[in-house]
Amino acid sequence: MARSTATLVRWFAWSTLSGPLALGACAQGTSPGNLVGRYAVHAVLVENTCGGGLPASATLDFQVELREQDGVGYWVQAKAARNAGSLGSDGAFRFTVSRTAVVSQAKPALLEPSDFLSTDPDRDLKQQRGCAVTTKETLAGNLQRWRKADGSVTANADAGSGDDLSAEHRIEVSPSSGSDCDSALAAYGGAYNALPCEARYQLRGALDTTGVTARAGAGGAKPNGGGAGGS
């Protein structure tokens, strides 16, 4: 799916910022590997324990391409960096991205009367450390239907009447090592309800079957090496 904690959307829209991871159709000539499928995705926020520290829309709608090259899967959204991960022959996929951002800088301790003319001032002990948080986004799910190299659609042999794409997007936020993030908590005037915290989206997607050239098959070509090249 911005690269602060509000970045949630950039990835998926891995993003929430345009959608969740923020992946969508890519520009002509920039798409990696073979097209496995284009999906219209609807995402629903099911939990957000972070509060205002991680702004998250209740619902998100966006377009995404899943692509594959040399055993590597790609989640690609418009106007967003493509994300590399795993895409298995059974349609299972997983993408992960992590980043660290500074929420507040360290602040020097204020001088107190006891510090004047002292041979052992304790200002270092009273100095407020800064706060940096690490945000880890994980998008994991499964494909029930995808495009074959010949332009037709295939499905998992055990595919039922479920969604063509189903996944969970989890965004986990935690203080980085050595940080003091009390000031970032709502109880102390900050934006976060709690740290660490997380938000979760449930994603459902429908395969774009525009230009399908043959009837859908079951248990046919695998996602790995089974897509159509190009955008």
Whether residue 11 has pLDDT greater than 60: no
Q: How confident is the model at residue 122 (pLDDT cuts 50, 70, 90)?
A: low
pLDDT in tens, 189-211: 999 999 999 999 999 999 998 87
Burial of 15 (0-12, 13-18, 19+ CB in 10 A): buried
Tell me the β-bridge partners of 147.
Answer: 153
Give the number of other CB atoms < 10 A from CB of residue 116: 8
Average pLDDT, the chain: 77
Share of residues in the chain with pLDDT > 70 (%):
66
Q: What H or E segment, with its residue span, contains residue 8?
A: helix 8-11
> What sign has the CA pseudo-torsion 194, 180, 8, 190?
positive
Distance (Å, whole) CA 127 – CA 97: 33
Predicted pLDDT at 105: 63
Six-digit token string for 48? 């957000």
Predicted pLDDT at 19: 43
Q: How confident is the model at residue 113 (pLDDT cuts 50, 70, 90)?
A: low
Predicted pLDDT at 202: 97
| CA–CA distances in Å: residue 177 to residues 44, 97, 100, 145, 174 | 32, 18, 11, 42, 9
Whether residue 123 has pLDDT greater than 60: no
Mean of the pLDDT values across residues 1-15? 36
Whether residue 92 has pLDDT greater than 90: yes
Mean of the pLDDT values across residues 124-128? 52
In contact, 218 and 212? CB cutoff 8 Å: no
Mean of the pLDDT values across residues 6-25? 39
Whether residue 167 has pLDDT greater than 70: yes
In contact, 111 and 127? CB cutoff 8 Å: no
- Range scoring the smallest mean pLDDT among 105-114, 118-127, 134-143, 185-194: 118-127
Whether residue 53 has pLDDT greater than 50: yes
